[in-house]
Amino acid sequence: MRKIKVMTVFGTRPEGIKMGPVVKALEQDERFLSVVVSTGQHAAMLQQVLAVFQIEPDYNLKIMRPGQTLTEITIETMTRLEPIIQKERPDIVLVHGDTSSAYASALAAFYNRIAIGHVEAGLRTWDKYSPYPEEMNRQMIDDLADLYFAPTETSAKNLKMGNHCHGIIVTGNTAIDALRYTINHSYHHQVLDEIIPGKKIILLTMHRRENWDKPMAETFKAIKTIVDHRDDIDVIYPVHLNPKVQAVANKILGNDNHFHLISPLDVVDFHNIMSKALLVMSDSGGVQEEAPALHKPVLVLRTTTERPEGVTAGTLKLIGTEFNNVAKELSSLLENPEEYDKMSKAQNPYGDGYASERILDAIAEWAETQKEL
Ligand code: UD1
Ligand code: UDP
């Protein structure tokens, strides 16, 4: 029987982490022929992920430029991907989530009449500019897709609200699959030695476009105000390579001994340090899914989230980026053991770690229905 040719296209760090388990599953499954395309939207930060999963892309579009614009990402991805799609003629192209290169890849596949599978489909805030541009990227990908791999029942419901009624499969989130590759209970890292034994760790990340400049500055100042008054807490902050983020982080936190500003960690380091942290503060999407699985409370540095399941479960709390609120919420979580207990014991709503296998089975079932295969 002819194998089903699946082209996975991804190129940012979070896409790599969540598509890594899908690619590994494809490689091990005789029903499929896997072609991997890196957009290269993130050069260094994707390389860290590829090394962990031992994935060597068949193609690299190498689109990254310093300070790239959304238009540049979109045009470069489409222009460079199209000849590869035309050469390989895959049965289906898989894209992930909501980056601009994922949207551009889906559009290039559609223009070439290739079926599209959307991994992590159906996440919504229903707010056009929050997160920006991701909310519209994912809505537009869902308009183009043929198969929707929805991580939760809530995301499946969102798809139906948007009139996408066919081809939805609830799979769980592949972020939880990735934890099966990374978590190691005897893990150690040098940054942990730098922290005085007995101190607790806050793990911080922040990068979203809508948080650039003032929101980021206010948030950092608020965390600094709380942490500087205590001798039992340090903050580990692997700073995103975006120069906009680097500038604010270094200016406000650079000379403070409570803050360990380090380079982006590879995903094994990041997941294991998260599993040793007291709590997480982040505006990241993926972190909102992983932390609950590791029983870590997350103070989400945003006012909206497309991951409401974690808020309902009680493991995520939306605290925004306003100085007074960030300071108040952090202080309250640190001072209130009952609140901490409730958040850390909440049930992870994002899956059981076997989403990739469900995705592959759904593709195989779909392929059976395609006459030309
Ligand atoms: C992108 C995605 C965002 C995702 C985030 C994950 C879009 C519009 N944005 O945002 O949805 O949440 O990735 O991290 O698709 N850079 C490097 N090396 C790297 C990576 C980035 O130097 O390995 C620098 C470059 O100067 C680059 C800049 O960061 O131009 C911004 O990267 P870009 O992918 O445009 O935006 P992100 O903020 O990373
Ligand atoms: N991550 C990592 N190293 C770091 C910071 C984050 O590997 O130094 C991982 C994290 O575990 C999660 C993903 O990167 O899986 C989140 O990426 P990011 O916050 O850049 O993007 P988002 O999820 O918001 O799109």
DSSP letter string, 85-97: HHHH--SEEEEET
Torsional sign, CA 126, 296, 98, 5: negative
297 Cβ closer than 6 Å to some ligand 2 atom:
no
195 with 337, same domain: the answer is yes
118 with 238, same domain: the answer is no
Is residue 125 a part of any domain in this protein? Answer: yes
**Quick one: average pLDDT of 146-174?**
97
Q: Which two tokens stand for residue 199?
A: 């101190």
Catalytic site residue 134?
Answer: yes
- What are the pLDDT digits (tens) for 236-294? 999 999 999 999 999 999 999 999 999 999 999 999 999 999 999 999 999 999 999 99
CB 202 within 8 A of CB 227: yes
Is residue 181 a part of any domain in this protein? Answer: no
Please tell me the number of Cα atoms within 13 Å of 248 on its side-chain side. Answer: 20
33 with 151, same domain: the answer is yes
Is residue 56 a part of any domain in this protein? Answer: yes
Question: What CATH number did the domain enclosing 143 receive?
Answer: 3.40.50.2000
134 with 224, same domain: the answer is no
CB 292 within 8 A of CB 112: no
59 with 148, same domain: the answer is yes
Model confidence at 332: pLDDT above 60: yes
165 with 227, same domain: the answer is no
Please tell me the number of Cα atoms within 13 Å of 309 on its side-chain side. Answer: 27
The model's pTM? 0.97
Q: Considering the chain, what percentage of its residues have pLDDT values greater than 70?
A: 99
251 with 324, same domain: the answer is yes
Q: Which of 207, 208, 260, 358 is catalytic?
A: 207
Is residue 77 a part of any domain in this protein? Answer: yes
Please tell me the number of Cα atoms within 13 Å of 99 on its side-chain side. Answer: 25
209 with 295, same domain: the answer is yes
221 with 242, same domain: the answer is yes
358 with 329, same domain: the answer is no
What is the DSSP-derived secondary structure letter of residue 145? -
pLDDT of 372? 55
CB 360 within 8 A of CB 29: yes
Catalytic site residue 209?
Answer: yes
Please tell me the number of Cα atoms within 13 Å of 255 on its side-chain side. Answer: 1
Whole-number Å distance between alpha carbons of 19 and 25: 10
Query: Which of the listed residues 132, 284, 289, 290 should we mutate to test ligand 2's pocket, taking the one with most ligand atoms within 8 A of CB?
Result: 284
Instruction: Report which bound ligand comes closest to the CA of 296.
Output: 2
129 with 241, same domain: the answer is no
Q: Which two tokens stand for residue 54?
A: 């031992």
pLDDT of 240? 98
**In the chain, how many domains are there?**
2
Domain hosting residue 214, numbered range:
190-344
Is residue 185 a part of any domain in this protein? Answer: no
Catalytic site residue 188?
Answer: no
Query: Which of the listed residues 41, 46, 70, 288 should we mutate to test ligand 1's pocket, taking the one with most ligand atoms within 8 A of CB?
Result: 41
239 with 161, same domain: the answer is no
Is residue 80 a part of any domain in this protein? Answer: yes
Catalytic site residue 207?
Answer: yes
